[in-house]
């Protein structure tokens, strides 16, 4: 099954995580790169001109603000993170940014998905489509994911990871995510005794 882009946030006794996976049929030539406390999705070498074909394919997907990690599938990462830096709570930052930015105006009306979670495991995950918006609370000990296609309402998931590398691998091809096709790149932030970041570029 093809789900497009996927985000997942949650926590367990092993720690708190926020993860992201690019699945793509149209623009598979992309990779994750880390820049301090952020992760960006950019075209691979030789495919830089793809950004002129679709302006939505390059963006920051993870941003860490003190004890909070933001994860999304687009430029609204920066908007959510900016609002949190200004003092807005996670719920309002996620909901307002999704509502304001709206779904992507491409050929597929691609939904925007986004989430934010703190080191206590409290967070919010949401989606805006051409039909509406949904933002769900994630409580400590819970894990959820949402995707741009098919599973476009938050789904509870048994997410297995004890560090950033495992969280990155899990959303790429672990558990239920192994059933979803066309993985391109993945990344994750994980907090046990401080945020750490990892990424996977096959």
107 pLDDT higher than 80: no
Question: What are the beta bridge partners of residue 65?
Answer: 68
pLDDT of residue 13: 94
pLDDT in tens, 110-167: 999 999 999 999 999 999 999 999 999 999 999 999 999 999 999 999 999 999 999 9
pLDDT of residue 129: 95
What are the boundaries of each domain within the chain? 6-200
β-strands 155-156, 195-200 pairing? unpaired
pTM value is 0.94
d(CA 96, CA 89): 11
Q: For residues 17-37, give the mean pLDDT.
A: 89
Domain 6-200 has what CATH class? Answer: alpha beta
29 pLDDT higher than 90: no
Question: What are the beta bridge partners of residue 116?
Answer: 70, 124
pLDDT in tens, 35-62: 989 999 998 887 767 777 777 778 999 9
pLDDT in tens, 83-99: 999 999 999 999 999 99
d(CA 72, CA 155): 16
């Amino acid at each position: 099954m093809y789900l497009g882009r996927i985000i997942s946030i949650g926590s367990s006794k092993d720690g708190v995580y926020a993860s992201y996976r690019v699945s793509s049929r149209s623009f598979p030539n992309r990779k994750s790169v880390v820049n301090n406390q952020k992760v960006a999705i950019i075209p691979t070498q030789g495919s830089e001109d793809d950004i002129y074909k679709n302006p939505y394919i390059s963006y920051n997907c993870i941003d860490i603000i003190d004890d909070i990690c933001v994860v999304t599938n687009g430029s609204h990462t920066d908007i959510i993170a900016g609002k949190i830096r200004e003092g807005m709570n996670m719920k309002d930052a996620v909901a307002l940014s999704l509502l304001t930015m709206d779904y992507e105006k491409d050929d597929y009306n691609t939904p925007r998905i986004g989430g934010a979670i703190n080191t206590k495991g409290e967070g919010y995950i949401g989606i805006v489509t051409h039909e509406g918006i949904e933002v769900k609370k994630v409580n400590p000990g819970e894990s959820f994911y949402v995707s741009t296609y098919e599973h476009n309402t938050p789904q509870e998931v048994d997410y297995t990871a004890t560090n950033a590398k495992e969280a990155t691998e899990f959303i790429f091809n672990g558990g239920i995510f192994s059933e979803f096709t066309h993985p391109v790149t993945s990344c994750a932030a994980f907090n046990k005794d401080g945020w750490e970041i990892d990424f996977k570029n096959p």
